[in-house]
Structure 1
Amino acid sequence: MSAKKLFGVASAAALMVGVATAALTGAVEAKTLKASHQWNTKDVRHQMVQIVADELEKANVDLKIKIYPSKSLYKPKEQWAPVTKGQLDITAFPLAYAASRHPEFDATLMPGLVKNHDHAARLNDSEFMNDIKKIVDDAGAIVIADGWLAGGFASKKNCILDPKDISGQVSRAAGKAFEQMLVGAGASTASMPSSEIYTAMQTGVLDAAITSSGSFVSYRIFEQTKCLTAPGANALWFMYEPIIMSKKTFSKLTKEQQDAVMVAGQKAEEFFFTAAKEMDQKMVEEFKKAGVEVVEMTDAQADAWRAIAKETSYKEFGKKVEGGDALIEKALAVK
């Protein structure tokens, strides 16, 4: 027998032994899913995805997740299309990034709709979020973990509590709806990534800024500000940043794997709820340590901002988005 034929026979025999061994031991190669997000590995949003990966590993359902952090697989706003088409399995994704495709998603970054973290948790189970999640589902993805991040105001000039406090200042708004509200309050706005706020305040391009608690700390914006308006009980800025999974991927999993994914998602959601509150507290501590005055809005002050938002951001959303008015009303109905 030729060497070539001998090799073929040996290979076939080895394959049969491998199959038999796998059958006897129950060993099956674990399916590996790809997860993508824009943050570094120290960020709580990465930790949220890591919890899903760790919990699936512990569940022993032959399912693993390889995480691609720091925009290493897709750019931040380019993750929506691949996850809905099944080219990407999982993403931690600020939903408003996909508002150009689904304008309803702008409601998840709307001034004053979410008051605080406990209110956000109640919203997760509301008709408002049911409508949002149906759009996600119809587009080809499912939410496996809810996540809301809070933010606040910071100014080089004065504390921003009442709308009149920001009149005449140039502020970074963090979202179209916030720009509309700030202009309605008499401010000017400038658009830029949160990573550019520090330099813009340092050089006089900005007087004030709105961004997330995490960004305020990580970009050391406390070095350039006089006063911080912390989220507290009456935040104006909240952004929905869930973990999303492709429906195509989910449908190919076994029932046991699907159940494990949802359990892992719940663990990640519970972690994030606590971590987001802790992030707010860390921000307050860092600003106070730097000698910055820290204040919180009263109910009346937050209501004054919402009154402006109703005449600007909410009204524009209702005009431009089919069913937008009803969506806003559903959110406002959650107390």
Structure 2
Amino acid sequence: MSRRTMLGAIASSPLWMQSAWAQPNNLKISHQFPGGSISEGDFRDRLCRMFAADVERRTRGGLKFSIYPGSSLMGANAQFPALRNGSLDMALVPLSYAGAEAPEANIGLMPGLVTSYEQGFAWKNAAVGKELSRILNEQGLVIVSWIWQAGGVASRGKPLLHPEDVAGLKVRGGSHEMDRLLTDAGATVVNMPSNEIAAAMRAGTLDAALTSSTSLISFRLAESARALTTARGGAYWFMFEPLLMSRTVFDRLSKQQQAAVMAVGAELEAFALKAARNDDATVASVYAKAGAQVVDMNAEALRKWQAVARTNAWREFGERNANCARLLALAEQTIV
């Protein structure tokens, strides 16, 4: 075979075409939520599977993914340190779970700071979102998809609508600042990830829990709850729950692979918004069917919770360090 013939064969080879995307990588995506399929189940698991399929297609198989739902790869709280040191590739995880090691992360579940999806999703292109992305990047994390979820309250007793309703109860909040809000309102705080709530409510070691509408459904809390406060009329509990990639992993991808990851992540944000809103409506019918009393958050109750939050939770967050103070100031600029 002549040299010209050999070079022509190499140039036309599928292997040569694939080299632009580098060699295949099988990346692991972890999350704590129930598993399903692309078309059925918890939308956060579905989003991970949609992401994996689309990125694999766009990179011509250069990137492949394995999904590990239900904390089957590692515990919920172990995901952030694993992402930061590069031992975990990707995770869809509540940002506030990183609050113990990175206090800035608690901006993702600051009571009463974000009160609508429009406000939350606007963060991505606002000054607060750019600053949050910078801080997380320095800590070894890349935001691939911006996902916000409104949340409600499942209770084993009466509906919890106003701050005074939680007095004397054992309640799960979900972040340091949310816990401070509940403490100021007279509750006893119980700390746990969302996938442990159901067992605690069944055992009676937890009276009520605040969590996303999707988790209120997926973790079948209706089996233990007698009352539900929904987010249909607004919410003081809005959680930032992004799809993240380890910066160590992201940096070793080719430019084309990085572009595919970020493009697909951004495109799936519309799916996440629609799915979260659908679950805000669906959760009410799920609990009503189970015999629970269902009430909606209203503007008057929301203002009461915001007043409690401003007193201590917001102030203490802003005093933690310069990054926290800057993030809070920028986030307050987005309040309408």
Secondary structure of 1:150's match?
strand
CA–CA distance in 1 between the matches of 2:14 and 2:193? 50
Going from structure 1 to structure 2, the CA distance change for 1:77 and 1:191 (only over 3 Å counts) comes to closer
Secondary structure of 1:320's match?
coil
Going from structure 1 to structure 2, the CA distance change for 1:290 and 1:163 (only over 3 Å counts) comes to same
Residue 51 of structure 2 aligns with which residue? Answer: 52
Match for residue 12 of structure 2 among 4, 24, 33: 24
Residue 208 of structure 1 aligns with which residue? Answer: 208
Matched AA of 2:24: K
Match for residue 41 of structure 1 among 35, 39, 47: 35
Cα shift at 1:267:
2.2
Contact 1:156 1:207 in 2 (8 A): yes
CA–CA distance in 2 between the matches of 1:233 and 1:69? 34
Matched AA of 1:41: G
Going from structure 1 to structure 2, the CA distance change for 1:26 and 1:139 (only over 3 Å counts) comes to same
CA–CA distance in 1 between the matches of 2:119 and 2:265? 20
Q: Deviations over 1:267-289 (max 9, x none)?
A: 22221111111222221110111
Q: Deviations over 1:127-165 (max 9, x none)?
A: 222211111111233212111122111223322222122
Equivalences for residues 125-144 of structure 1 within 5 A: 125-144=125-144
Cα shift at 1:202:
4.1
Matched AA of 2:50: I
Going from structure 1 to structure 2, the CA distance change for 1:266 and 1:192 (only over 3 Å counts) comes to closer
Residue 230 of structure 2 aligns with which residue? Answer: 230
Going from structure 1 to structure 2, the CA distance change for 1:60 and 1:37 (only over 3 Å counts) comes to closer
Matched AA of 1:279: D
Matched AA of 2:84: T
Contact 1:152 1:230 in 2 (8 A): yes
TM-score normalised by L of structure 1? 0.85
Going from structure 1 to structure 2, the CA distance change for 1:37 and 1:183 (only over 3 Å counts) comes to same
Contact 1:115 1:233 in 2 (8 A): no
Cα shift at 1:309:
0.8
CA–CA distance in 1 between the matches of 2:77 and 2:205? 26
Greater CA drift, 162-171 or 58-67:
58-67
CA–CA distance in 1 between the matches of 2:173 and 2:63? 39
Matched AA of 1:148: W
Equivalences for residues 160-309 of structure 1 within 5 A: 160-309=160-309
Cα shift at 1:69:
0.6
Contact 1:314 1:325 in 2 (8 A): no
Contact 1:77 1:98 in 2 (8 A): yes
TM-score normalised by L of structure 2? 0.85
**Once the two structures are aligned, what percentage of the paired residues are identical?**
30
Cα shift at 1:60:
4.3
Contact 1:152 1:211 in 2 (8 A): yes
Residue 92 of structure 1 aligns with which residue? Answer: 92
Going from structure 1 to structure 2, the CA distance change for 1:206 and 1:91 (only over 3 Å counts) comes to closer
Matched AA of 1:228: L
Residue 39 of structure 2 aligns with which residue? Answer: none
Contact 2:48 2:67 in 1 (8 A): no
Q: Deviations over 1:88-141 (max 9, x none)?
A: 333223222222332111111111112122222122222222211111111233
Contact 2:152 2:231 in 1 (8 A): yes
- Please, which runs of 5 or more residues in structure 1 have no aligned partner? 1-12
Going from structure 1 to structure 2, the CA distance change for 1:122 and 1:188 (only over 3 Å counts) comes to same
Structure 1 runs of 4+ aligned residues shifted over 6 Å read 17-20
Contact 1:116 1:233 in 2 (8 A): no
Residue 8 of structure 1 aligns with which residue? Answer: none
Greater CA drift, 145-154 or 204-213:
204-213
CA–CA distance in 1 between the matches of 2:90 and 2:333? 31
Matched AA of 1:25: S
Residue 112 of structure 1 aligns with which residue? Answer: 112
- Please, which runs of 5 or more residues in structure 2 have no aligned partner? 37-41
RMSD: 2.6
Contact 2:63 2:257 in 1 (8 A): no
Going from structure 1 to structure 2, the CA distance change for 1:200 and 1:282 (only over 3 Å counts) comes to same
Going from structure 1 to structure 2, the CA distance change for 1:80 and 1:167 (only over 3 Å counts) comes to closer
Matched AA of 2:25: T
Secondary structure of 1:225's match?
coil
Matched AA of 1:220: R
Rg larger in 1 or in 2? 1
Q: Deviations over 1:3-46 (max 9, x none)?
A: xxxxxxxxxx9xxx999855432333752241321234223222
Residue 312 of structure 1 aligns with which residue? Answer: 312
CA–CA distance in 1 between the matches of 2:25 and 2:54? 14
